[in-house]
């Protein structure tokens, strides 16, 4: 039983994968696949007619029939023509389906990634995600192409040619069919080893992709710490391992070719000597010998393709299973089917409440531990605490980037777990420390705040965020293109763009996570003035790094190691909390 399982070509798991792949992707192309099958059959048939034609030509030539120089050339030309057209259409048809499938899978994966939880996303590096979308999809495309070409066209061709060989001379054929598979054994062995190396190679490719992505993303850090040598050494070492894996794969392939060459030669020689003998005793016509050898030579190519098919097929299957593993991960932070639209009645400003909230990024350590607070609508709240104390985590939970493991977060008495996520986020403006800048114009970059905004509104928002003058000082003004990650902007300029987006969005809840941390004191003052205008009639939570102006907040929430250390106004905390007094002293601010 165990042995049976081992040699099984399609395992139960693969069967399921193929079923799902058909249901999710291939079935759309049923008609195209049927058309491809017809063309593949045509190509296989035209191939197997050749040896018979050649046999007839030779026999006729030797018998001095006139047919041989009028009729046969015409037939051969016609078959060649039909075959040529069929090959072209078949390649076109199969490529059309396989490329469409590849793009479909890439679109589906990308869509899935965008909708995935941050927790799931962070489990793999972005290099890994990219490798899945690029490399794994290519493996599936190749697997699909080879499945159709090899399993249909090549198998048919081989069967047709084998029938012809048996029809010509069954005794000789039995000899060939028995000896060949035995001789092919070493090749099968090499194939198995190749399989293993191919898997390792794929892993190595993923490592190279992530290493290079990481290197480019962190290039500023690398340069500032003079880590170039280390990075070059690291990239050289992963590239060297890639070379080794690739070389052993090529070496395996290189061993197969000479074995096939020698086998082919020996086979041809023995067939010719046996056949020659049979011709001499009148049991075989010379034309049949030529036809026989032609067919035998023609079998070699599809047989070789079938020999390597399993490798490609298994690789495609493991790529498919990796992709399905990804697609099967259902986001945990979702809008429930029963979710209601989050709506804020006109004239009211949303309040925010945390009740016994526990939260953890990785199940081991708690980022937030039993947090309770109430923020009245329309107030301005400061979130303070040392770095790592959980300030950003609170912001992340309000925007539902994550869900708490225990407890309840409500806005206007609606548990945010039960409302539709996008309707919730529509009401939240977020300005965080790490601003995302896209490789497009200032206009488009600010427009992300509100896709429906007019040019006038965008310019107004830029003016309010104090970035307008800088934008128009650029050669193309608002149409100037920013570089990736905003590499041609200062940290402060990036933050102003982020603030302009929030101004444009004009949401009733404003979350500012160290929004002004990259600004110098003077600009920070200016921006704060703008923000003060922006926050009128809004509920604002501001993660404050610097502890000046604490008395301008309606409430201060003070965190320490994920726990609530104190809550109240500046005056109240000064009175009640020794920790607060210590923290202020630490910052040397009264």
Binding residues for ligand ADP, rule: CB under 6 A, are: 122, 361-362, 367, 385, 387-393
CB atoms within 10 A of CB 377: 17
Q: DSSP character for 539?
A: E
Which lies closer to Mg ion via its Cβ, residue 392 or residue 464? Answer: 392
Q: How far apart are CB 436 and ligand ADP at their closest, in Å?
A: 16
Which lies closer to ligand ADP via its Cβ, residue 391 or residue 400? Answer: 391
Query: Phi, psi at residue 64, to the nearest 5°?
Result: 60, 35
The token duo for 171 is 């005794």
Q: CB neighbours of 456 closer than 8 A, spacing ≥ 6?
A: none
The token duo for 417 is 């777990």
d(CA 465, CA 482): 18
Report the chain's terminal Cα–Cα distance, integer Å: 80
Query: Phi, psi at residue 220, to the nearest 5°?
Result: -65, -40
Sign of CA dihedral 547, 549, 551, 557: negative
Q: How far apart are CB 220 and Mg ion at their closest, in Å?
A: 20
Q: How far apart are CB 517 and ligand ADP at their closest, in Å?
A: 11
Burial of 32 (0-12, 13-18, 19+ CB in 10 A): middle
Q: Could you tell me the maximum CA-CA distance found in the chain, to the nearest angstrom?
A: 120
Q: Pick from Mg ion, ligand ADP, none: which does 385 bind, CB < 5 to 8 A by kind?
A: ligand ADP
Q: How far apart are CB 562 and Mg ion at their closest, in Å?
A: 13
Calculate the CA dihedral of residues 444, 449, 455, 457 and round it to 10 degrees. -160
Q: Which stretch binds Mg ion (CB under 5 A): 261-269, 281-289, 344-352, 385-393?
A: 385-393
Q: Which stretch binds Mg ion (CB under 5 A): 177-185, 352-360, 384-392, 484-492?
A: 384-392
Q: How far apart are CB 525 and ligand ADP at their closest, in Å?
A: 24
Q: Pick from ligand ADP, Mg ion, none: which does 389 bind, CB < 5 to 8 A by kind?
A: ligand ADP
Which lies closer to ligand ADP via its Cβ, residue 129 or residue 245? Answer: 129
Size of site (CB under 5 A) for Mg ion: 1
Which lies closer to Mg ion via its Cβ, residue 169 or residue 369? Answer: 369
Q: Which stretch binds Mg ion (CB under 5 A): 76-84, 388-396, 498-506, 574-582?
A: 388-396
Q: How far apart are CB 513 and Mg ion at their closest, in Å?
A: 6
Question: Mind giving me the DSSP string for 332-380?
Answer: SS---TTPBP----TT----EEEEEEEE-SSSSS-SEEEEEEEE-TT-E
Which lies closer to ligand ADP via its Cβ, residue 127 or residue 385? Answer: 385
Which lies closer to Mg ion via its Cβ, residue 392 or residue 445? Answer: 392
Q: Which stretch binds Mg ion (CB under 5 A): 5-13, 220-228, 244-252, 391-399?
A: 391-399
CA distances, 83 to each of 41, 42, 153 (Å): 11, 7, 13
Cα 344 to its chain centre, rounded Å, is 38
Pairing of strands 352-359, 406-411: antiparallel
Which lies closer to ligand ADP via its Cβ, residue 271 or residue 559? Answer: 559
Which lies closer to ligand ADP via its Cβ, residue 526 or residue 561? Answer: 561
Q: Pick from Mg ion, ligand ADP, none: which does 388 bind, CB < 5 to 8 A by kind?
A: ligand ADP
Q: How far apart are CB 98 and Mg ion at their closest, in Å?
A: 46
Q: How far apart are CB 484 and Mg ion at their closest, in Å?
A: 24
Q: Pick from Mg ion, ligand ADP, none: which does 362 bind, CB < 5 to 8 A by kind?
A: ligand ADP
User: Which 245-284 residues touch Mg ion, going by CB under 5 A?
Assistant: none
Q: How far apart are CB 365 and ligand ADP at their closest, in Å?
A: 7
Residue 372: which of 240, 563, 536, 535 has the closest Cα? 563
d(CA 465, CA 446): 11
d(CA 520, CA 526): 10
Question: Mind giving me the DSSP string for 118-130?
Answer: HHHHTTS-HHHHH
If one asks whether residue 393 binds Mg ion (CB under 5 A), the answer comes out as: no
Which lies closer to ligand ADP via its Cβ, residue 366 or residue 538? Answer: 366
Q: CB neighbours of 289 closer than 8 A, spacing ≥ 6?
A: 272, 275, 276, 279
Q: Pick from ligand ADP, Mg ion, none: which does 390 bind, CB < 5 to 8 A by kind?
A: ligand ADP
Q: How far apart are CB 227 and ligand ADP at their closest, in Å?
A: 23
Which lies closer to Mg ion via its Cβ, residue 384 or residue 500? Answer: 384
336, 408 contact by CB (below 8 A)? no
Q: Pick from ligand ADP, Mg ion, none: which does 542 bind, CB < 5 to 8 A by kind?
A: none
Which lies closer to ligand ADP via its Cβ, residue 204 or residue 555? Answer: 555
Which lies closer to ligand ADP via its Cβ, residue 273 or residue 387? Answer: 387
Edge-to-edge strand ranges of the sheet holding 509-513: 428-431, 509-513, 539-543, 380-384, 555-560, 563-568
Q: Pick from Mg ion, ligand ADP, none: which does 84 bind, CB < 5 to 8 A by kind?
A: none
Q: How far apart are CB 391 and ligand ADP at their closest, in Å?
A: 3
Q: How far apart are CB 543 and ligand ADP at their closest, in Å?
A: 7
Q: Pick from Mg ion, ligand ADP, none: which does 393 bind, CB < 5 to 8 A by kind?
A: ligand ADP
d(CA 560, CA 273): 91
Which lies closer to Mg ion via its Cβ, residue 93 or residue 392? Answer: 392
Which of 318, 360, 392, 410 contacts Mg ion by CB under 5 A?
392
Q: CB neighbours of 188 closer than 8 A, spacing ≥ 6?
A: 307
Helix axes 455-464, 491-505, angle to 10 degrees: 130
Q: Which stretch binds Mg ion (CB under 5 A): 19-27, 88-96, 390-398, 559-567?
A: 390-398
Question: Residues 447-486 vs Mg ion: string with x where CB under 5 A?
Answer: ----------------------------------------
Residues that bind Mg ion (CB under 5 A): 392
């Amino acid at each position: 039983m165990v042995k049976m399982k081992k040699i099984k070509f399609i395992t139960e798991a693969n069967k399921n994968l193929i079923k799902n792949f058909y249901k999710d992707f291939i079935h759309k192309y049923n008609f195209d696949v049927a058309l491809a099958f017809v063309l593949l059959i045509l190509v296989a048939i035209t191939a197997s007619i050749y040896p018979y034609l050649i046999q007839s030509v030779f026999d006729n030539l030797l018998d001095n029939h006139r047919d041989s120089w009028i009729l046969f050339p015409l037939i051969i030309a016609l078959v060649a023509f039909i075959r040529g057209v069929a090959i072209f259409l078949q390649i076109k048809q199969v490529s059309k389906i396989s490329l469409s499938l590849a793009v479909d899978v890439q679109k589906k994966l990308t869509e899935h990634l965008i909708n995935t939880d941050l927790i799931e996303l962070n489990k793999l590096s972005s290099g890994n995600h990219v490798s899945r979308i690029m490399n794994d999809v290519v493996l599936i495309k190749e697997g699909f192409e080879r499945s159709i070409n090899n399993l249909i066209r090549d198998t048919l061709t081989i069967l047709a040619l084998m029938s012809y060989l048996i029809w010509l001379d069954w005794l000789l054929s039995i000899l060939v069919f028995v000896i060949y598979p035995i001789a092919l054994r070493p090749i099968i062995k090499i194939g198995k080893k190749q399989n293993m190396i191919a898997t390792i190679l794929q892993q190595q490719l993923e490592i190279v992709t992530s290493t290079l992505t990481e290197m480019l993303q962190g290039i500023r850090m690398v340069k500032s710490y003079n880590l170039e040598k280390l990075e070059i050494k690291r990239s050289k070492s992963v590239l060297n391992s890639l070379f080794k894996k690739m070389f052993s794969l090529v070496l395996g392939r290189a061993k197969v070719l000479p074995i096939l060459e020698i086998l082919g030669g020996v086979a041809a020689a023995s067939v010719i000597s046996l056949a020659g003998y049979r011709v001499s005793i009148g049991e075989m016509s010379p034309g049949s010998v030529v036809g026989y050898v032609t067919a035998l030579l023609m079998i070699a190519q599809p047989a070789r393709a079938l020999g390597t098919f399993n490798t490609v097929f298994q690789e495609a299957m493991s790529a498919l299973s990796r992709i399905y593993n990804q697609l099967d991960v259902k986001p945990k932070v979702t809008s429930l089917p029963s979710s209601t639209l989050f709506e804020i009645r006109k004239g009211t400003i949303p309040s925010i409440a945390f009740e016994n909230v526990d939260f953890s990024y990785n199940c081991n350590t708690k980022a937030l531990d039993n947090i309770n607070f109430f923020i009245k609508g329309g107030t301005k709240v400061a979130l303070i605490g040392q770095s790592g104390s959980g300030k950003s985590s609170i912001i992340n939970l309000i925007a539902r980037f994550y869900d708490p493991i225990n407890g309840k977060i409500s806005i206007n008495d609606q548990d945010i777990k039960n409302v539709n996520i996008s309707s919730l986020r529509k009401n939240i403006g977020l300005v965080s420390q790490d601003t995302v800048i896209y490789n497009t114009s200032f206009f488009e970059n600010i427009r992300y705040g509100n896709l429906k905004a007019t040019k006038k509104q965008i310019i107004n928002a830029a003016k309010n965020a104090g970035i307008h003058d800088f934008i128009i000082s650029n050669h193309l003004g608002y149409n100037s293109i920013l570089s990736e990650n905003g590499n041609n902007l200062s940290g402060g300029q990036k933050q102003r763009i982020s603030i302009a987006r929030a101004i444009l969005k004009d949401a009733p809840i404003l979350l500012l996570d160290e929004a002004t941390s990259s600004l110098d004191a003077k600009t920070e003052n200016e921006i704060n003035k703008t923000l003060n205008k922006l926050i009128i009639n809004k509920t604002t939570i501001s993660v404050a790094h610097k502890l000046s102006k604490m008395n301008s907040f309606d409430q201060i929430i003070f965190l320490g190691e994920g726990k609530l250390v104190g809550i109240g106004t500046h005056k109240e905390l000064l009175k009640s909390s020794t920790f607060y007094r210590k923290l202020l002293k630490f910052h040397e601010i009264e």
